[in-house]
Structure 1
């Protein structure tokens, strides 16, 4: 069980530190078939001390010799010395500038520095050869330090390499600058020791004196460790390099200790304690190599799909097991959060091998009141309560986040009515595009619907909007206009009015099916209460019609010729629409055969 969203730490306890010191903490971690070596040299010509010469070198050298099956993956240069710092030096005549710096002090008059640079590319390029640090010049600053025996300078290169013959190890590089005036205790968490064979711990330390051996001890889990005769149990900081066997690294140490008998299979933590009863010693670098087979789950958010006006989103993600020494098991839980609240879950589906990955997607329902911009956080190996079920090499790199922009649909814009002429039974023909003429839109971006639901689902689109006949009166039309990233909605009503009828000037009731009746357009089934009166040239009423009785040239009024067809001639009509919006229409119509 573990908490997420925290930075990996190394807990430092049991010591009051100078205000300038930087706590030793994890800098880099390597999981795989890795080990390391270290080279370096001092700038001192002899042990520092009140009786020694007040001189210091500006260059020194050391040889790197790796086996042919050892492949360099990283190389870190550390250098340190008296005073506030020389942060621009040379490595094999290549200019080096410090990428990180550290400081410590005994008191206000005696301050010290250390520096770091990643020199991986140089070491890979030059390989096994002699490496010389030059232009490292403390000559002008050491004089005040000589009388107290604290003038020193030196450098070390930590080289991490990969070797297929090695077991799967976890190699941790810790650095900082902390002094060991009495007791320094460091707890290394997040271990899972499966095999303690060849387990080791190494240091780069500065300012140790070979001839001061007052309670100088290194302990692991309470057990004193040593490399006798190179590093006696009571003189850990004595100017040696455990890798080369050198004993003349005045005022610096590059030491490594086998700890396989001091850490047990199944251990999940180790406590390192360093003591110095008299000598002022500064720890700059600690490296552990343990056979610790664990997965390391990390996750990225790769993409998302957001729909217009929808708080349901699809998140695409990838789970990795990159910096690991074991498979990440199937069914490792994944939790998703918005506004810090749990909103959904998923899980891995297969065992993910070392350096493997697995990609999936998940649908999440956001709170209905979500802001347009929302941060989605995803955490792998999280059961939804910020607790995990898998022990990993790094418990604090499980999360990722992404800023999601929801696609908010603008408010519906209501447009003026589109009016059509009644073509009968309160129906009309409309060109729906006419309602949008003032908006200057592209027709290819426009679709019309009879309901908002159809518009949102893009279903039942009106197929011929340029010639549409209404179903209801009035009828609401909804318009979807595609925009980036979302769409806009407009609506307008179709309404109907009774337009003025068109009265022809004549007709020919000769039964040839062409123009056989007095066809007054926009009249029948529109002005259903109209009355039509036809008079002959003598003023006699000869026909009365209505919506059910159009004039076909026959006579239905008067005593004579009832039912007969009128002769060729001009006839007078009065058309009363019985509509308050219109006065009666009067005029002449010519009948011919």
Structure 2
């Protein structure tokens, strides 16, 4: 979740160039063998509460950083703050740095009106890793214009400026700690006398070394009005540097300095204020008290950041979608995902539940297979059939530590970073393209031989290897019962529907058309020899029998006498079956005339002659 917070801050900054003010909230979280230290200094020459004569800040100030050789710098942030709306570019050891973000906060002074204060920060991790131990000089913070044009800051004695560097480091000899860095910019004063932050999702296993630190501005040592810091409702103090009733008094706990004028860079041991087994810590800052006349008095305190170091051992489950694969013309999605236990202080147990949602609807569930060690991960895959009620384009959510109703079973360091989302669009069933039918001549019994590849001239395709033919749409989708020799396809019915599938890189296109058997004109021979020699023994009209099954054949002799009448079941073998005499006998050699009624609306009656010889 700390990454999400950071992203929100950056978006705000980009959208407005100067970010909106922000409540003190979790900025970064570090889990491991980590600790932190801080350096910094004021740019005020004196405490502004004591001396109204100065209304300018120092051009620079210094602080020394000392890191042990075995301390590995994990992160480092430079903070600077002051009166006015801010200066976003400053220098550290002569190197210019630009603010990653600027926070503004206003105070409506009863005498001087609206007064604005700022704080900036920037990530300087790589710079600190490079320079490490050095005397750091901060300079080029310019707020002189605001101090000279608005005398309210000096007259109400809130003219200040200062800087600090927070360094989070790793040391293998440290216990497993959770470091929470909060930041923003908030005022506590007579109007807002209290700020409470609840830190949950912890599991205190050992209170040794537990501490809290903060960076605050505009605190005054000589204004003692109930300024306190409380942990779990216990007041913290570190006298004489930080008395219990004056927490914001211009001090630096790291150097034991009481000349951090109008700034506080303090850290407190809280071992006695938390207990083993605690799963939350309440942090409270206050100001305001009654003077001897019963009048409420309060110092104006500007809280910039807060940091806690707690020995807390818990896993932190996160999950990412590595890749997904779609199946063409189906609602099946195969998802590769990885469950992590990064930035944790304890193993993530096996069987941690994982829920998959499509547009908020639970569509699948899984769980981790094995225990995931600290900084470890586990990769899995799952195939999901997306329900029809989900549109083709939807948002997939994968949530780890979710039993399917938003409820988790594992206590984690961070319960807010368990979700990953991905927009997905299914590959819908392609629309079929209708082609013109193919026709072929009937070779008998309403069958014909078709060359299905003739349709390819009307289709776009890359390779013949991508083309396949099927007798049903189901077979096409399942790629079953392929027509193996499409050049010589014999139909079963007429018309019969045929399907062509063209595979593409992502899916396929498909086409359909009918094959139709047509009756082609029969071929009528001009001679036949019914001599029983096994060759041309009957009047074999090719393409007639079993094709024009309702035909009628009439044979006449040269005098016009009907001597034979036949049909699909009775071809002419040279014998007469009509007339008064000679029925059943072979007709004499000679020329005979035929009349062929095909009884097909596409053809007229055919007439001609045939010569019978023996």
Which residue of structure 2 lines up, in the alignment, with residue 98 of structure 1?
99
Deviations 1:373-412 (A, max 9, x none): 1112121111111111111111111111111112222444
Equivalences for residues 39-58 of structure 1 within 5 A: 39-51=39-51, 53-54=53-54, 55-58=56-59
Match of 1:114 among 115, 119, 122: 119
Contact 1:308 1:486 in 2 (8 A): yes
Q: Give, in whole Å, the separation in 2 of the partners of 1:141 and 1:184.
A: 28
Deviation for aligned residue 1:336: 1.7
Which residue of structure 1 lines up, in the alignment, with residue 514 of structure 2?
493
Deviation for aligned residue 1:455: 1.8
Match of 1:124 among 120, 126, 129: 129
Contact 1:554 1:566 in 2 (8 A): no
Residue 279 (1) aligns with residue 299 (2): yes
Deviations 1:182-229 (A, max 9, x none): 332222222211111101111111112223333232221121222233
* Bigger Cα displacement from structure 2, 481-490 vs 249-258: 481-490
Contact 1:33 1:168 in 2 (8 A): yes
Secondary structure of the 2:204 match is: coil
Contact 2:47 2:261 in 1 (8 A): yes
* Bigger Cα displacement from structure 2, 222-231 vs 81-90: 222-231
* Bigger Cα displacement from structure 2, 529-538 vs 242-251: 529-538
Match of 2:315 among 286, 295, 299: 295
Contact 1:263 1:270 in 2 (8 A): yes
Match of 1:383 among 398, 403, 417: 403
Equivalences for residues 60-459 of structure 1 within 5 A: 60-106=61-107, 107=109, 108-143=113-148, 144=151, 145-181=153-189, 182-277=193-288, 278-434=298-454, 437-439=457-459, 444-459=465-480
Contact 1:294 1:392 in 2 (8 A): yes
| Alignment gaps of 5+ in structure 1 | 9-19
Higher relative contact order (CA 8 A, sep 6+): 1
Secondary structure of the 2:403 match is: coil
Q: Give, in whole Å, the separation in 1 of the partners of 2:310 and 2:376.
A: 22
**Length, aligned pairs only:** 577
Deviations 1:295-316 (A, max 9, x none): 1111122222333332333332
Q: Give, in whole Å, the separation in 1 of the partners of 2:605 and 2:228.
A: 121
Which residue of structure 2 lines up, in the alignment, with residue 584 of structure 1?
605
Contact 2:551 2:568 in 1 (8 A): yes
Q: Give, in whole Å, the separation in 2 of the partners of 1:512 and 1:127.
A: 115
Q: Give, in whole Å, the separation in 2 of the partners of 1:315 and 1:388.
A: 22
Cα distance change of structure 1 residues 474 and 51 upon mapping to structure 2, 3 Å threshold = closer
* Bigger Cα displacement from structure 2, 457-466 vs 572-581: 572-581
Q: Give, in whole Å, the separation in 2 of the partners of 1:566 and 1:301.
A: 92
Q: Give, in whole Å, the separation in 1 of the partners of 2:460 and 2:430.
A: 18
Contact 2:237 2:247 in 1 (8 A): yes
* Bigger Cα displacement from structure 2, 41-50 vs 546-555: 546-555
Deviation for aligned residue 1:284: 0.6
Q: Give, in whole Å, the separation in 2 of the partners of 1:91 and 1:7.
A: 27
Which residue of structure 1 lines up, in the alignment, with residue 10 of structure 2?
none
Q: Give, in whole Å, the separation in 1 of the partners of 2:528 and 2:61.
A: 121
CA RMSD after TM alignment: 3.0
Which residue of structure 2 lines up, in the alignment, with residue 28 of structure 1?
28
TM-score for both structures, normalised by structure 2: 0.85
Q: Give, in whole Å, the separation in 2 of the partners of 1:577 and 1:179.
A: 105
* Bigger Cα displacement from structure 2, 70-79 vs 184-193: 184-193
TM-score for both structures, normalised by structure 1: 0.88
Cα distance change of structure 1 residues 37 and 592 upon mapping to structure 2, 3 Å threshold = farther
Contact 2:99 2:122 in 1 (8 A): yes
Deviations 1:157-194 (A, max 9, x none): 00011111111111111001122323322222222111
Deviation for aligned residue 1:504: 3.4
Residue 473 (1) aligns with residue 478 (2): no
Q: Give, in whole Å, the separation in 1 of the partners of 2:607 and 2:137.
A: 118
Deviations 1:316-368 (A, max 9, x none): 22211112111111111111222322222111111111122222222333332
Cα distance change of structure 1 residues 322 and 361 upon mapping to structure 2, 3 Å threshold = same
Cα distance change of structure 1 residues 555 and 177 upon mapping to structure 2, 3 Å threshold = same
Q: Give, in whole Å, the separation in 1 of the partners of 2:128 and 2:34.
A: 17
Q: Give, in whole Å, the separation in 2 of the partners of 1:279 and 1:590.
A: 132
Q: Give, in whole Å, the separation in 1 of the partners of 2:461 and 2:196.
A: 73
Cα distance change of structure 1 residues 73 and 169 upon mapping to structure 2, 3 Å threshold = same
Q: Give, in whole Å, the separation in 1 of the partners of 2:518 and 2:534.
A: 31
Cα distance change of structure 1 residues 561 and 456 upon mapping to structure 2, 3 Å threshold = closer
Deviations 1:567-589 (A, max 9, x none): 6x765444343445433323344
Cα distance change of structure 1 residues 147 and 504 upon mapping to structure 2, 3 Å threshold = same
